C-alpha cells in the first residue's frame, strides 16, 4: 500500500511534469482492465457452479439435509460478494478530475446526514479553519469519489456513536514545513466507541473486516480514492477520540 511519503513524491512529480499524471493513469487503467478480465473469468464458472447446486437441490430435495450442504451454498454466496466487492474497488481506479468547491461538498454531506444524527441525538459539527477557504474553494478532484469517501467516514462515525456523542468534520490548510509540501486537511473525529488497537494496522486492507456482516471494502475504497488523488488517509483512536485524517496535496 502507498504511504504518505509515496504520495508526496507522486504529487511532486505530477506537479513538475503533468505527463507523469497521464502515465500513472495509463498504468492504473491497465491494472483495471486486468482485474476486470480476472473477475469476469471467475464469475463464469461460479455461475455454473451455483446453477448446478440449484439443479441438484431441485432434483434431489434430500440434499438439503446433508451436513455441509448449507455451508456449500454460503461459500458460493460469499464468493459472489467478494467478486462484487473486487469490481467496486476496480471501478474506483479511475477518476474524473475537475475543479470543485470542497467546502460546499462537505456542507452538502453534513446536511445529508443531519437527520440521522438528530435521530441518534449525536451532534454533527463542521469546523472550517480561518483562511483556508481559498484552497478548498477550487480544488482539482473527482467530486463524486470525494463525496463517496467522506460519506463513508461519516457513516462509520455514526455507527460508532450513541446519544450524547459528537462527530466533528474539520477543514484546515497545512503550509509547507521542513520541505513537506503544503496540504489540505480534512479530519473526521468522534468520541464514540474506540477502534481496538490490534485492528488499526489492517483497517484499510481490502476484504479484512471486523464488522458483523461487513465486507471489508468501505475503508479500502476510501484509501484507494485518496491514493489516486495523491493524498493520504490515516486513523488514530483511543478512549477519548477516534480521528480519520485525510491530507490532500495543494
Q: Over the stretch 73-115, which tens digit does the pLDDT of each residue have?
A: 888 877 776 777 677 666 666 778 899 999 999 999 999 999 9
For residue 241, CA distances in Å to 100, 156, 161, 190 come to 30, 14, 11, 6
Three cell numbers written together for 215: 465486507
Mean pLDDT of 45-68: 86
**What torsion, rounded to 10 degrees, do the Cα atoms 18, 24, 30, 35 define?**
-140
Q: What percent of the chain has pLDDT over 70?
A: 86
Instruction: Between 113 and 16, name the one with better pLDDT.
Output: 113
pLDDT value of residue 4? 66
What ranges do the domains of the chain cover? 19-91, 98-249
Q: Mean of the pLDDT values across residues 114-132?
A: 94
d(CA 72, CA 53): 9
Q: Which of 153, 127, 137 is nearest to 225 (CA)?
A: 153
| Mean pLDDT, rounded, for 190-218 | 77
User: What's the pLDDT at 37?
Assistant: 74
60-69, 121-130, 202-211, 224-233: which has the highest mean pLDDT?
121-130
Predicted local confidence at residue 126, as pLDDT: 96
Range 98-249: architecture per CATH: 2-Layer Sandwich (3.30)
Residue 168 phi/psi, 5° resolution?
A: -125, 125
Half-sphere exposure of 101 (CA within 13 A, CB side): 6
Task: Give the Cα separation of 135 and 115 in Å (integer).
Answer: 29
pTM (predicted TM-score): 0.71
Q: Take residue 97 and report the three cell numbers written for it.
A: 478530475
And the C-alpha cell for 36? Answer: 476486470
pLDDT of residue 26: 75
CA distance 217 to 203: 10
The pLDDT of residue 164:
96
Over residues 194-202, the mean pLDDT reads: 87
Beta bridge partners of 245: 187, 234
Residues 6+ apart with CB under 8 A from 46: 76, 79, 80, 83
Of residues 118 and 49, the one with the higher pLDDT is: 118
Amino acid at each position: 500500500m502507498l504511504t504518505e511519503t509515496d504520495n508526496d513524491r507522486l504529487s511532486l512529480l505530477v506537479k513538475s511534469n503533468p505527463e507523469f499524471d497521464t502515465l500513472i493513469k495509463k498504468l492504473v487503467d491497465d491494472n483495471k482492465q486486468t482485474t476486470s478480465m480476472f473477475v469476469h473469468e471467475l464469475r463464469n464458472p461460479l455461475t455454473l457452479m451455483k446453477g448446478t447446486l440449484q439443479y441438484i437441490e431441485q432434483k434431489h430435495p434430500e440434499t438439503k439435509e446433508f451436513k455441509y450442504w448449507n455451508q456449500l451454498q454460503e461459500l458460493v454466496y460469499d464468493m459472489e460478494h467478494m467478486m462484487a466487492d473486487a469490481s467496486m474497488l476496480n471501478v474506483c481506479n479511475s477518476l474524473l478530475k475537475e475543479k470543485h468547491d470542497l467546502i460546499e461538498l462537505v456542507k452538502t454531506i453534513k446536511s445529508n446526514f443531519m437527520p440521522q444524527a438528530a435521530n441518534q441525538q449525536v451532534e454533527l459539527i463542521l469546523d472550517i479553519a480561518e483562511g483556508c477557504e481559498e484552497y478548498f474553494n477550487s480544488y482539482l478532484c473527482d467530486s463524486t469519489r470525494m463525496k463517496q469517501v467522506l460519506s463513508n467516514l461519516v457513516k462509520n462515525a455514526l455507527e460508532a456513536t450513541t446519544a450524547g456523542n459528537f462527530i466533528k468534520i474539520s477543514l484546515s490548510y497545512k503550509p509547507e514545513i521542513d520541505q513537506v509540501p503544503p496540504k489540505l486537511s480534512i479530519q473526521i473525529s468522534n468520541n464514540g466507541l474506540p477502534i481496538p488497537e490490534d485492528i488499526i494496522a489492517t483497517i484499510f486492507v481490502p476484504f479484512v473486516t471486523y464488522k458483523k456482516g461487513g465486507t471489508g471494502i468501505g475503508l479500502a475504497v476510501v484509501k484507494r480514492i485518496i491514493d489516486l488523488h495523491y493524498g493520504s488517509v490515516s486513523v488514530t483512536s483511543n478512549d477519548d477520540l477516534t480521528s480519520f485524517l485525510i491530507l490532500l496535496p495543494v
